[in-house]
A and B are shown apart, each in its own frame.
Chain A
Amino acid sequence: MATVTIKIKRQNPEISGKDKPYWEEFTLKDVDPTDRLLEMLHRIKWEQDGTLTLRRSCAHGVCGSDAMRINGVNALACKVLMQDVGETIMVEPILGLPIVKDLVVDMEPFFDHYKAVMPFFVNDDPVPENGRERLQSIEDRESFDDTTKCILCACCTTSCPSFWANGKYVGPAAIVQAHRFIFDTRDKASQERMDALAEPNGVWRCRTIYNCTPACPRDIQVTKAIGEVKLAIRRGSPTGIIKAIG
C-alpha cells in the first residue's frame, strides 16, 4: 500500500463557506501498512494543511482523545492501522455531539452524563482499625474488572442510535462507569446510582442494539455490563448477579 486517499469531513465556524460540513480529500504517498491512522492525520496536518484540527495525546489508545468515525465505525485513530481500512478512508467526527471544528466535538454533554451517575467511590464506614487497606477477594475484584478499563473516549456513547435520537440519554459510557461502582463490593452508594439509572433517561433507553460493544477500543463488554446493571435495578440489588469468575 503506497498511496492512500483520506476523505475528511470538515467544518470551520470562523470561515464563511466552510462553516457547514464539507468533505475534503487528501492524498498521502509512502504509507506503510502498519502506520497508524493518527500518524496519517498528522502528516496531513503537518505536511499539507495545518488547519486540520483534531484532538490527540498518548498515540497508543489509552487517553481517549481521538475518537472518530472511521469508514462509518467509531474508533480511536491511534489504534487503527492503515492495513485495516483500505485505500480510501472516510474520517468524520463522532456523532451526536456538537461540532467545534473539523474532528473536534464539544465533549461537555458527554461529561455531564458521566457526572450524573455519581462516578466516585463512596464508603463512609470507618477504615480498618489497623489503618490498612479494606480487604477484597480476588473474585470480588474480578467481578467489576472489565468496566474499570473505561477511558471515557465516547466511542460507545456516540455509536448508539438511542443516544443519537435523544441526547438526554446518559449513554453507555456513563452506565459502564456506574457499573464499575455498583459491582464493587466495597462501595456503599449502589442504590443511589441504580436509582439515578432507573430514571427515564437511564438504562431503559438502551434497546440492546449492540453498536457500543464493538466500538469500545478497550474491549469492554459494554452491552453485557448494561445488562447486568438492568438486572440489578430489576432485582433491587447487585448481589449475586455476577457469578464469581475463576
Chain B
Amino acid sequence: MQIHKHEAIIVGAGGAGLMAALYASKGGTDVAVVSKLYPTRSHTGAAQGGISAALGNLDDDAPIYHAYDTVKGGDYLTDQNAAMVLADNAIDAVIELEHMGLPFDRTPDGKISQRRFGGHTSNFGESLVRRACHAADRTGHMILQTLYQQCIKQKVNFFDEFQVVDLIINKDKCVGVVAVDIGTGEFHIYHGKAVLFASGGWGRCWEVTSNAHSLTGDGAAVVLRKGIPLQDMEFYQFHPTGIYRMGILITEGVRGEGGVLLNSRGERFMERYAPSVKDLASRDVVSRAIYDEVEAGRGIKGNNYVHLDIRPSTVNRFFAEEGRPESDYIDDAYVEKKLPDILDFCRTYLGVDPVKEPMPVQPTAHYGMGGIPTNIDAEVVTDENWAVYPGLYAAGETACVSVHGANRLGTNALLELVVFGRRGGMKIAEDVKQMEWTDLPSDAGKAMESEFKRIRTSKGKTKSHELRQKMQNMMMRKVGVYRTEETLSEAVEELKEMKQLYYTDLTIDDEGSIFNTDLMEAWELGCLLDLAEVTAVSALNRTESRGGHSRDDYKKRDDENWLVHTLVHSDSGDVQNPNYQINIKKKVDLSLAEKDDKFIPKERVY
C-alpha cells in the first residue's frame, strides 16, 4: 500500500474542500486534496441561484438581518452564534471571491448584482431583500471554477479520482484516511496531522433528487462507522421546485425574479399559505404547500405536480396586482439573460419553453441540514459539551455547524462553503504548527482491503442497483416531506432487511481492478443505507414537527422539549451491526436571544 504524507488531508474538492485547501495552503500547510471526482465535476458546480451576503448593493441590508432570517428560516434550531458568524463573515467572503476574479453579474453602477431569495428579508422580516449575489443562474459553477483556479495558482496537490473509504484513528486521534485509486483499484494511505471532510451530501438516498449520482454521503458514513456521532440527520430538505419526475433543480431564483407557483385552477396558492412573502416563503413551507395542494386534488391534470410560471405576462400581472412600479416589469430578454441554464434544462429535457409555457415541478430531495457536528472553526465535536475530536474537521454540506437548523435558506449553503471552508483551512494551518505527528497504526487499511474483497467476490443474488432503487423508493414514501411513527418504524425495519441483503446476498459483475465503478457503486450503496438508517432513526425519535421534519402525528413544534440537537452514534463497534444511541442533551445556542428579544424562538409566520 502506498503511503502519502501531508500535514493536511482534505477529502473532497467542492466549494468547501477547495476553500479549506486554499486557506490551509496559504497558511503554509502542506495540503493534499483527495477527491473521487475531478474537482470541477463536484456538485457545487450545479448550484444556480446565488450566494447571500448583506452587501446592501441594491436594498438596505445588514448582517444582523441576515442572521435573523437564518435563525427564523431554520425554525429556531439554528445555533445562533454560528448564524451570526455566517452573516458577519459573508461580506468579506463574497468580496474576496470577487477579488479572486469571480465574474458576478453587475448592477448598473458596476457593483455585484443581487436578487431576492426565499426567506431573506430586510429589517427583521419587514420586506424581501435583494441579498443573493449571483452570476446568472450558474453561481455555483463560477464559485467552483474560481476556487479550483486559485488552487492551481497556489500549487495545491490534488489526487483526483481517489475515493476515500475509511478514516484512520490512532490513540484517539485522526491520523489519516484510506483511499482507493479508482483508475487502478490500488489502496493508498494518506497520513496527516489534520483531516477535513468536505465530501458533500447524500441526496441519492431518495428517488427524486436534485443531487448528482455521486452524492452518496461517503464522508458522513465513514465517520459514523467509527462511532463518531452525526447531528440532526432527521432534517433533510425537499426543495419545492424540481423538474417533475426528474428532480433536476429549478432554482428559487426563478421565484426571486418574480415567478409564481400555480395549481390546476391557476390559483397562486402560496397566497393562502404565506400571505406576506407568498412564493418566497422558506422551502419547507412551500414544499408542504405543494404536497397539500396535490393531496387536495389540485395538482396539474390530477398528477403530483404544480406549475412554476415565469412567463413575463404572468409575472407582470402579479407585479401590477402588488402595485410594483412598472420599472420592475420583466420581458423575455430579461428571463433569457438571468436564467439561461434553467431555460436550457426545460427546453432540453421537457421540450417546454419557460418564456412561453409554465414548468411542471414537484418537491425534490435536495440538501442535508444535518451531518458531521462541528464548531464554528470546522473542528468536529462529539458531544453536548462540544468536545473536539483531535485531528478531525469537516465543512460544507457534510458538516453540521449548525447554521441551517431545521431548514436551510436558499443561498446559505454556498455561503457556508466559503465561510466555514475558509475558517477550517485557517484553523488547520494554525493547528498543524503545534501538532506532533502521530504514527499510523500497523494495520492501517487492512480492514478496507478485506471489505472490498468481500464485495468484489460476493456471489449472491441481489444487484446493488436493485437494492438502491428499493431504498430510494421507500425513503421517498416513508421518510419524505411528511412522516409518522408508522412510516418511520417501517422504514427502520425495512432498512435493516436491506442491509442484511447488502451484507449477505450482493452480486457484482465486474471483478477487475481498473476503473471498477460496479464495485465503487456497491460500496457507495453501503454508505447510503447507513445514512438512510440514521435519518429514519433520528426522525422517529423526534416527536415534534420543525422545519424540514414534519410529523403528521406530532404536528406542532415543541420548544419545551426539543430545542435540542439530535446526536446519533453507534456504540457496537461493528459496522455491519450498528447499535444506534441517541443523545438529545446538546442544546441549541440562543446567544443572540439573550441580547435581543427578536431572536427568542416564536411561531414562524411568513
Contact = CB atoms under 8 A, between A and B. Distances in A.
Interface in A67-115: 79, 81, 100-101, 104, 107, 111, 115
B351 A34 contact: yes
Interface stretch (A120-128, A164-172, A200-208): A120-128
Given A121-B146, A151-B40, A184-B101, A141 B45 contact: no
B543 interface: no
Contacts of B214: 57
A151 B350 CA distance: 22
B14 to A, nearest CB: 11
A243 interface: no
Contacts of B43: 57-58, 63
A3 interface: no
Interface string B93-108: 0010011110111111
A36 B243 CA distance: 14
Interface stretch (A12-20, A155-163, A226-234): A12-20
B513 A14 contact: yes
B512 A51 contact: yes
B12 to A, nearest CB: 13
B112 to A, nearest CB: 5
A134 B99 contact: yes
B562 interface: no
Nearest to B94: A133
A79 B348 contact: yes
A136 B112 CA distance: 9
B95 A63 contact: no
Contacts of A152: 38, 40
A120 B99 CA distance: 12
A62 B46 contact: yes
Interface string A24-64: 00000000001010000000011101110111111111111
B577 to A, nearest CB: 27
Contacts of B108: 138
Interface string B144-180: 0110011011000000000000000000000000000
Contacts of A184: 101, 103
A50 B146 contact: no
Interface string B435-474: 0000000000000000000000000000101000000000
Interface string B500-514: 000000001110111
A125 B90 CA distance: 23
Contact of A115 (B106, B135, B152, B350): B152
Nearest to B465: A46
Interface residues of A, number: 59
Given A50-B518, A63-B41, A133-B98, A58 B103 contact: no
B433 interface: no
Nearest to B522: A50
A231 B135 CA distance: 27
B515 A53 contact: yes
A147 to B, nearest CB: 10
Contacts of A56: 213
B109 A135 contact: yes
Nearest to B100: A121
A145 interface: yes
Given A51-B509, A58-B212, A127 B99 contact: yes
Contacts of B510: 50-51, 53
A59 B213 contact: yes
A55 B516 CA distance: 11
B45 A151 contact: yes
Contacts of A132: 55, 95, 111
Query: In terms of DSSP, what is the predominant structure of the interface of chain A?
Result: loop
B103 A62 contact: no
B138 interface: yes
A65 interface: yes
Contacts of A100: 183, 514-515
A51 B518 contact: yes
A134 to B, nearest CB: 7
A199 interface: no
B152 A133 contact: no
A137 B150 CA distance: 24
Contacts of A115: 152
Contacts of A127: 99
Contacts of A148: 103, 135, 138, 142, 145
B95 A62 contact: no
B352 to A, nearest CB: 11
A104 B109 CA distance: 47
A54 B516 CA distance: 10
Contacts of B515: 53, 100-101, 104
Given A14-B513, A59-B213, A65-B37, A141 B106 contact: yes
B307 to A, nearest CB: 19
Interface in B280-309: none
A7 interface: no
Interface of B: 37-38, 40-43, 45-46, 55, 95, 98-101, 103-112, 135-136, 138, 141-142, 145-146, 149-150, 152-153, 183, 212-214, 246, 248, 341, 344-345, 348-351, 463, 465, 508-510, 512-518
Given A127-B99, A219-B344, 5 more contacts: A34-B351, A45-B465, A63-B40, A122-B153, A137-B110
11 contacts: A12-B512, A14-B512, A45-B517, A61-B348, A65-B37, A120-B149, A133-B98, A134-B98, A137-B110, A148-B103, A186-B101
